[in-house]
Amino acid sequence: MLNPDNTFTATVLGLPRIGANRELKRAIESYWAGRLDAAGLHQVARELRTTQLTAARDAGLDSIPVGTFSYYDQVLDTAVLLGALPQRVAGIADELDRYFAAARGNAEVAPLEMTKWFDTNYHYLVPELAADTVFSLHPDKPLTELKEALALDVPARPVIVGPITFLKLAKSVDGSDLLNRLPDLLPLYEQLLGLLAEAGATWVQIDEPSLVTDLTAAEFDAVRTTYQRLSEVSARPSILVATYFGRVGAALSALADTAIEGIAVDLVAGGDADVAAAQSITDKLIVAGVVDGHNVWRVDPDHALPRLTGLRDAGVRVAVSSSCSLLHVPYSLDPETDLDARLRSWLAFGAEKIAEIRVLATALTAGEAAVAGDLEIARTAVLDRKADPRLKVQAVRDRLAALDADAARRTPADERRVLQQERLNLPLLPTTTIGSYPQTSRIRVARAELRRGEIDQAEYDVRMRAEIAEVIALQEEIGLDVLVHGEPERNDMVQYFAEQLDGFAATVNGWVQSYGTRCVRPPIVYGDVVRPAVMTVDWITYAQSLTDKPVKGMLTGPVTILAWSFIRDDQPLADTARQIALAIRDETVDLETAGIGIIQVDEPALRELLPLRKADQAAYLEWAVEAFRLSTAGVADTTQIHTHLCYSEFGEVIGAIAGLDADVTSIEAARSHMEVLDDLNAAGFDLGVGPGVYDIHSPRVPGAEEIEQSLSRALKAVPAERLWVNPDCGLKTRRTDEVTASLRNLVAAAKALR
Ligand code: GLN
Ligand code: ZN
């Protein structure tokens, strides 16, 4: 029988793992490079866990997630737990090597595919399952980490990915319905619950973020039967099923029908309907995610506390929590001493969020007076943020309000095509690249020297110009038709613009894991967006001055800038998007005025921001497309607008791609074998298109014949007048020799077909 007093009041749903100073990233990369052995890597990992768990305990959390640590990814860890790694890595004897081979491949085997974790910028590895996958339990990791935490006197709550989410996120390699595999997985979960209880766990957290997506009737049934069945295990910890990243809706009542002990709900993303529904669940612990684990803003106590007390007064047992794992926010504000003090006071990163949760939990249990000082500070910050003039720049708002529908519209595409062709006089099947050229060691050295103050900005600019000159010369020599400047001056395609726009702030150490050892430092959009000065014109006009061929201006689109930033939570995303769109629009006009005839506005993240629930998707696509069009419709008909899309299955956004109305769209297709062209045709797309014919994700140099074949296939779907020839993404991760050889073949293929 479960102890009815087995409860807690303050927790988070998961902890970050990369290390406050990216220690784990460095250790893993050293291990890969052979500079650190497995024992050394495990030692670093143990130390990181120890520091973090004891810090969370000392900060006053009375239940702490354990097992959210990972060497690469929690979904891959779950595949290991369930014995579900693909056959092709099974032969690798060493456990760590096998794990990393599944994660990133090696000379012999391809890795698992990687894709976005719900609506975050974290990417997980996609398990490959089939009707005949044989599952088996390998509980070493959760058990070891549990024991380690208990030995530290940490109130540990093991966390595992739930069976429904695991199956829904996996890829069916034989086309079979993976939900049918649930009966084979459940005995393993039952066994694991027993083992965890035996090892001393009083609670277990089973993550089911999939429950915030649209579920079928069969899936709702699966929720009920799965959790009813797991609740019937005789000796087990109390079960907390964690949902997050959206409103849980009907799945909440499915969970409430079962005999589990707790449910975590994301009240930040979920909203009032979920709060109301949770109020009737009086026989379970409701872990109320009122502190945003997905964004960096300080919680408003006057928003969170009424929800918490409302639940309590309805007779619900409540614990205060982050809305999701803290994996998605930086560790701590401590290193951010460069941030504007006012802005800093509005923010909460991981450590600060834990403190907020403790304060709210105390206010809830002991009354506001017990934490009056902390609440006062929080309220002052929230009010100060609302009052800051940078959040409401009237000029931008007036300008947006005054725009008419025509601002986002160009003349019909076929008229533009004629005018642009007159101006540009391009050959049939024009060749081009996506923007970046290899990030050479010279570029990295210059950046490091600038950062360390060893060279000044002027010297840095001289060196970047030299890179540009080299890239232009290389492209001329290869014989490409539309050139790019190579983007050497850009650290990152979003950060580069964020640094130059008002309303954005950058952090010095605000790293979050993107995948594996790759971390990103998303900028923070905190205010109205204004472009105080031109951003790219000098670089592009310099590049254009070196050649008679057209050089593309290169910008990042509003949706992608938003998708890779921490966003404002005080106004609709669409409003922020329109402001960024205006800034990009002004830049396109300035490029045009400076004589640039082709401008590319990249939107690789168009698919990324697509809402998890179908019902919300159309509204998103409408404002996303509108923002892109606003960005690009300020130029004359003779200026050719390009866009670039990648990283995704385009199925759900194919109609929106047509809606962008870009004169030319370069789109990742090298790996999806051109199917995307048929999809575009079906959506009525009739603009210029460059399906990628060179897979830049691989070091392999494609032969001219192979590229010719790809193009011939493309010509079956697209008339030659509309077809462009280009790689499937930017070249910055490749080596110069690979790129040179591949582009020579690409040009040769285009010439042969002409
Ligand atoms: N213009 C960018 C580049 O070439 C596009 C990058 C991207 O698609 N992510 O690097
Ligand atoms: Zn790309």
Interval 474-487 mean pLDDT: 98
pLDDT band at residue 2 under the 50/70/90 scheme = very low
Q: Which atom of ligand 1 is nearest to the CA of 556?
A: 1
Q: Is the CB of 602 under 6 A from ligand 1?
A: yes
- What is the rounded distance in angstroms from the CA atom of residue 691 to the CA atom of residue 676? 8
Dihedral through CA 275, CA 279, CA 280, CA 283, nearest 10? 120
Contacts made by residues 707-716, CB under 8 angstroms, sequence distance 24+? 707/745, 707/746, 707/748, 707/749, 708/749, 708/752, 708/753, 710/670, 710/674, 711/429, 711/749, 711/750, 711/753, 712/753, 713/673, 713/674, 714/674, 714/677, 715/753
- Tokens (6 digits) for 457: 């900005």
Q: Let me know if 612 is exposed, middle or buried by CB neighbors in 10 A (0-12, 13-18, 19+).
A: middle
How many angstroms separate the CA atoms of 205 and 663, rounded? 50
The mean predicted confidence, pLDDT, of the chain is 96
442-470 tens-digit pLDDT: 999 999 999 999 999 999 999 999 999 99
- Round to whole Å and give the CA distance between 223 and 226: 5
Ligand 1 site-directed mutation target among 443, 496, 602, most atoms within 8 Å of CB: 602
Q: Is the pLDDT of residue 536 over 80?
A: yes
User: Which residue has the least CA distance to atom 4 on ligand 1?
Assistant: 730
Ligand 2 centroid to 644 CA: how many Å? 6
CB < 8 Å & 24+ apart, contacts of 109-112: 112/76, 112/79, 112/86
pLDDT score recorded for residue 650: 85
The model carries a pTM of 0.96
The answer, yes or no, to whether residue 399 has pLDDT greater than 50, is: yes
Exposed / middle / buried, residue 424 (Cβ in 10 Å: 0-12, 13-18, 19+): middle
- Token reading at 575: 């409003």
Q: In terms of Cα–Cα distance, which of 55, 231, 49 is closest to 144?
A: 49
Residue 509: per-residue pLDDT: 97
Is the Cβ–Cβ distance between 316 and 279 less than 8 Å? yes
- Would you tell me how many other CB atoms lie within 10 Å of the CB of residue 40? 13
Q: What is the pLDDT of residue 5?
A: 64
What digits encode the pLDDT tens for the residues 98-148? Answer: 999 999 998 889 899 999 999 999 999 999 999 999 999 999 999 999 999
pLDDT, one tens digit per residue, over 50-61 is 999 999 999 999
- In short, whether 554's Cβ falls inside 6 Å of ligand 1 is yes
pLDDT band for position 698 (cuts 50, 70, 90)? confident
CB-facing half-sphere around the CA of 108: CA atoms within 13 A: 10
Q: Name, in order, each residue with C-beta under 8 angstroms of 172's C-beta and a sequence gap of 6 or more.
A: 129, 130, 178
Q: How far apart are the CA of 191 and the centre of ligand 2, in A?
A: 44
Residue 290 sits at φ, ψ, to 5 deg, of -100, -15
- Domains of the chain (ranges, CATH numbers): 23-386 (3.20.20.210), 433-753 (3.20.20.210)
Ligand that comes closest to the CA of residue 696: 2
| 697 annotated active-site | yes
Task: Please report which ligand is nearest the Cα atom of 436.
Answer: 1
Residue 604, ligand 1, Cβ within 6 A: yes
Q: Is any atom of ligand 1 closer than 6 Å to the C-beta of 493?
A: yes
Please give the Cα distance from 396 to 390 (Å, whole number).
11
Let me know if 600 is exposed, middle or buried by CB neighbors in 10 A (0-12, 13-18, 19+).
Answer: buried
Q: 1: pLDDT confidence band, cut at 50, 70 and 90?
A: very low
**Ligand 1 within 6 A of 488 CB?**
no
What dihedral angle (degrees, nearest 10) is formed by the CA atoms of 255, 260, 264, 269? Answer: 0
Give the pLDDT confidence of 318-330 residue by residue, as tens digits.
Answer: 999 999 999 999 9
Answer yes or no: is pLDDT of 3 > 70: no
464: phi then psi, degrees, rounded to nearest 5: -65, -35
Ligand 1 in contact with 353 (CB < 6 A)? no
User: Does 630 have pLDDT greater than 80?
Assistant: yes
Q: Are 488 and 468 in contact (CB under 8 A)?
A: yes
Average the pLDDT over 175-198 and give the result: 98
Q: Can you say whether the dihedral through the CA atoms of 354, 356, 362, 365 is positive or negative?
A: negative
Query: What is the C-alpha end-to-end distance of the chain, expressed in Å?
Result: 78
Q: pLDDT: is 739 or 6 the higher one?
A: 739
pLDDT of 670 above 80:
no
Question: Strand locations in 186-235, DSSP E?
Answer: 203-207
CA atoms within 13 Å, Cβ hemisphere of 292: 22
Dihedral pair phi/psi, residue 405, rounded to 5° = -60, -30
* pLDDT on residue 395: 97
- Cβ neighbourhood burial of 740 (10 Å; 0-12, 13-18, 19+): middle
Higher pLDDT, 649 or 379: 379
Among the bound ligands, the one closest to the CA of 734: 1
Instruction: Indicate the residue type of 751.
Output: K
Which pLDDT tens digit goes with each residue over 282-338? Answer: 999 999 999 999 999 999 999 999 999 999 999 999 999 999 999 999 999 999 999
The minimum-distance atom of ligand 1 relative to the CA of 645 is: 8
Tell me which of 4-8, 181-185, 410-414, 580-584 is least confident. Answer: 4-8
**pLDDT value for 83:** 98
Cα separation, 412 vs 149, in Å, equals: 64
Lookup: tokens for 357: 């949760």
